[in-house]
Chains A and B, each alone.
Chain A
């Protein structure tokens, strides 16, 4: 980071008051927000892909990020997971500043994600995919692994059980031995969620979890997202185009257009917001 951007970032956080939120659920008022993004932004060669993005997510909130195509939703996810380094603003995860961190460190801090275009480890089994998610919770080293010391057997067994337990959220424990790349599309999406969940996150980012699912599967997914939140007591943020899902489960919704937040609020507020309607449907013709 250059000295200039560092200064700019400090100025940004110090001088401007905290962004208004108002959409954090009441139960999360007294715990540290899992995510706090202030004046977050990134420029690609002068183009502001995301600009002045402010958001607070409560400890067990389900938040939605919506917006027309190309609004910068996935870019926000890439900023939060440090795939891109933000050129402006700060990201606090569980009260810790993530400045200068990389993707791996952001994950260790508690951010896990799924991908819009599925990125599974195709040549590995379903169970091994989940085990990769459990990677940082298993502590034995290469030497123990090669020489199969007692720690290896103990932790492998614990890992196996944990993987099956996680898979059972989506009723996928029977598929544990199947090759991940050979699963049907919907199952691949579910596996991605399980894999992300295995990293023991405090914030789970889901990039279009319902894409390509039929209404029946979507409904089941909604139930499962709530179940995951209740069971693991984590916050979930999702990008989705399926409005039934977003309006159905998200407690706070944030609408993005041209890289800027144009509206924040509950489902009812968003549906009634004229700016949002305009962004999606265009301006009403006068007369």
Chain B
């Protein structure tokens, strides 16, 4: 059977990710990796997943979401709470089972948050989603500043603005959530990347994914073809929220505490920068940008204070470069060597 071009591309893609993982794992084992880079391995995985999932919203469904860190924080908090409850309430000893269950619950809760926001907003057109998701990110952070959770002999207690709860405090308002045990591991981060790629790439090449892209390209035509625009925008938005929640849970469980300040507006913008830099709608670009920009500040530790400045400069330079016709045509030639006859014809006609 002749494989489809997209299938071949996907197989190559998974191959590259697996090779990258093996290389990282080998150098981790051999001890050749620097300490600071070692600490970056899980955040890199998390940010790759964040960028790819945001790309599903921004690039594939064409809606601007500015609150992706909000979903990440929902995932991180529920991951931290659920992992503690799994240990003390259900007495599950196996770390890997607890990690997987925490990540799944992080995804579920973030997905619920996504449904809650998506239902009213995705019916509207234009910039509303950007504004509401921006607000969501800030609201969820403010809520977490006042949120208290405790666990007392396997039972969870929750209160708002009232730290006097029975038992051991798990979430302590502005001080953040205390992680009972750092469960996150690099192989699990890698597994999450593979899972994300699997979901996103398979989705793009399915009936649902095509419908999502159709609503992006031309809403009116999509409706005239019998596609329920709201449903498919929702599908992309909630899927992205679930993936961000899972990444958030992993992220949260890699620290001893997660405080709300980790999920500020900056984080949402940072993820958006990965997506824009990597190319809107380009999954591979997102992965590369997320990796490089997470590692870069570590490598330039001396300039760490100027990190945001470097981002800005890099962003501007990349924008200039990708809009430069010469560089563009060079890229085109490198990336798409086999252009169709019709493509060339159009290129000739428009110039």
Spell out A's residues near B (CB within 8 Å): 81, 83, 102-104, 107-108, 112-113, 115, 119-124, 128, 131-133, 135-136, 138, 140-142, 144-148, 152, 155-156, 175, 177-179, 181-184, 187, 195-196, 199
Binds A, one of B102-110, B207-215, B290-298: B207-215
The 9 closest A-B pairs by CB, nearest first: A145-B206, A107-B226, A119-B221, A121-B217, A182-B346, A178-B342, A103-B223, A178-B340, A142-B208
Spell out B's residues near A (CB within 8 Å): 5, 198-199, 202-203, 206-211, 213-214, 217-218, 220-228, 235, 281, 340-343, 345-347, 349
C-alpha spacing A183/B342, complex, angstroms? 6
Chain B contacts for A196, CB-based, 8 A: 224-225
Give which listed residue, A147, A148, A177, contacts B340 with CB less than 8 A: A177
Contact between chains at A112 and B342 (CB < 8 Å): no
C-alpha spacing A120/B222, complex, angstroms? 9
C-alpha spacing A119/B225, complex, angstroms? 11
Contact between chains at B221 and A115 (CB < 8 Å): yes
Chain B contacts for A104, CB-based, 8 A: 223, 226-228
Chain A contacts for B221, CB-based, 8 A: 115, 119-121
A266 to chain B, nearest CB (A): 30
Give which listed residue, A132, A152, A178, contacts B214 with CB less than 8 A: A132
Contact between chains at A184 and B342 (CB < 8 Å): yes
Contact between chains at B199 and A184 (CB < 8 Å): no
Besides A121-B217, A128-B213, A181-B346, 20 more A-B contacts (Cβ < 8 Å) are A83-B220, A104-B228, A107-B225, A112-B224, A120-B218, A121-B214, A122-B217, A124-B210, A132-B211, A132-B214, A132-B227, A135-B210, A145-B202, A145-B207, A175-B342, A178-B342, A182-B340, A182-B342, A182-B345, A184-B349
Contact between chains at B203 and A108 (CB < 8 Å): no
Q: Which of B202, B218, B341, B343 has the most CB of A within 10 A?
A: B218
Given contacts A128-B210, A132-B210, A146-B203, are A195 and B225 in contact (CB under 8 A)? Answer: yes
C-alpha spacing A175/B341, complex, angstroms? 9
Q: Which residue of B lies closest to A136 (CB)?
A: B226
Given contacts A124-B217, A128-B210, A132-B214, are A142 and B226 in contact (CB under 8 A)? Answer: no
A143 to chain B, nearest CB (A): 9
Q: Which residue of A lies closest to B222 (CB)?
A: A132
Chain A contacts for B218, CB-based, 8 A: 119-122
Q: Which of B217, B222, B225 has the most CB of A within 10 A?
A: B225
Chain A contacts for B347, CB-based, 8 A: 182
Contact between chains at B342 and A119 (CB < 8 Å): no
Q: Which residue of B lies closest to A102 (CB)?
A: B223
Q: Which of A144, A145, A156, A195 has the most CB of B within 10 A?
A: A145
Chain B contacts for A144, CB-based, 8 A: 206
Chain B contacts for A102, CB-based, 8 A: 223
Contact between chains at B225 and A132 (CB < 8 Å): yes
Chain B contacts for A136, CB-based, 8 A: 226
B29 to chain A, nearest CB (A): 33
C-alpha spacing A60/B222, complex, angstroms? 26
Chain A contacts for B345, CB-based, 8 A: 182, 184
B63 to chain A, nearest CB (A): 16
B336 to chain A, nearest CB (A): 10
Chain B contacts for A178, CB-based, 8 A: 340-343
Chain A contacts for B209, CB-based, 8 A: 145
Give which listed residue, B206, B220, B343, contacts A142 with CB less than 8 A: B206
